[in-house]
Amino acid sequence: EAILFSESLSRFLIEVRPADMPQLDQILADVPHNCIGVIGGSALRITNATGATVIDVPVHELETAWRGHLPINSESAAVNLTADYKQWTPAHRSPLTDYAPPSLQKQPRVLILHANGTNRDHDAVLAVQMAGGTPEVVHINQLLAGERRLLDYGMLVVPGGFSYGDDLRAGVLWSVDRQYRLNEQMQAFAENGRPILGICNGFQVLVKANLLPGNLASRSVTLTYNASGHFECRWVTLQPNTASPSIFTQGLTNPILCPVAHGEGRLAVQDETTLAELQANNLIPLQYAASDNQSEEYTAVPYPANPNGSIADIAALCNAAGNVMGLMPHPENHIFPWQHPRHHRGERGMSGLPLFVNGVKNA
């Protein structure tokens, strides 16, 4: 075991189907190798060369250890993640299929807004290309200098990242730049019905600049520090609201799987009246959901399925017209099947892409 698990170069773990073992043995005929175990659904068992079991650990214990044991607060310290393991395990599986870009009569120009510190521009470019649009990354200074005109584009994406280093909290400085130097262009763009999608830091920008939710009183909604008190990076399940006016979620009924990566993603409202108005007008197009929830009635989702403690499990907001939407998760990071960590287990892939397809289609 010491030789097998020693920390040294040129050691690999290879997973193959039992039927492929003879071929693998031939390929590795001149390389020292050994079968250390068989993968099952309930436990990880590793044996040595004599067949004796070296490790036998239930998968849910490994999952719990991987997720960590940091409680959100004193009330959640007793949460039994082991007992609720299946609740956090995505179960949306379907055969993998080849992707064909949507057939659109036009390929609208899509502006990917860049500011110092944003780091998801290229991911957004790929998503827009996959959706059938023509993306262009434009620095905010180019708009301010008049080198580019926002109204020359059919759609706007404000991507995630750490704009201006997140000084003065996430998205604040970027929203100040947008609000006081680009306000007229942005308002005209939104009022013209053109799609605007803000992701993570971009969502924070749209909220702090009062572009979302749009029809409520200023500062009635905000995005603040995660309830856990630390940065959250994990995969989540999002449930679309079929009654929402958001053009980005139109026709979507299946859960959307994508990652989150933020420290300030908890959506908070000024009062219960604000929340009631958001719900009554269906301005919540996406909510965090437990992956195995089959109930049609809403039930509160605990951590970590709701990774930041957002009220009413809100993952996204839209305006009343439906053309402006912001969300904390990163759908641009699940536009290829292989991006999901359970891709080789038959996990349904690319579920973040339809949001971009809908946006481009309406550009």
Q: Which of 332, 334, 340, 347 is catalytic?
A: 332
Dihedral sign computed on CA atoms, order 334, 160, 187, 285: positive
Cα of 38 vs its chain's centroid, Å: 32
Residue 196 and residue 206: Cα distance in Å, rounded? 9
Q: Is 200 a catalytic residue?
A: yes
Rg value, the chain, Cα: 23
Q: How far apart are CA 213 and CA 118, in angstroms?
A: 23
3-class DSSP assignment, residue 299: coil
HSE-CB of 118 using CA atoms within 13 angstroms:
28
- Among 200, 258, 318, 347, the one annotated catalytic: 200
| Cβ–Cβ under 8 Å, residues 114 and 121 | yes
CB 176 within 8 A of CB 183: no
Angle (deg, nearest 10), helices 172-181 and 183-191: 80
- Cβ distance 307 to 236 under 8 Å? yes
332 as an active site residue: the answer is yes
Told to judge if 35 belongs to the known catalytic residues of this protein, a careful annotator would answer no
Burial of 211 (0-12, 13-18, 19+ CB in 10 A): buried
**Cross-strand partners of 347:** 93
DSSP 217: P
Q: What CA–CA distance (Å, rounded) separates 221 from 267?
A: 7
Residue 191 has phi, psi (to 5 degrees) of: -65, -20
Q: Which two structure tokens, joined as six digits, stand for 249?
A: 């979620």
| Residues recognised as catalytic | 200, 330, 332
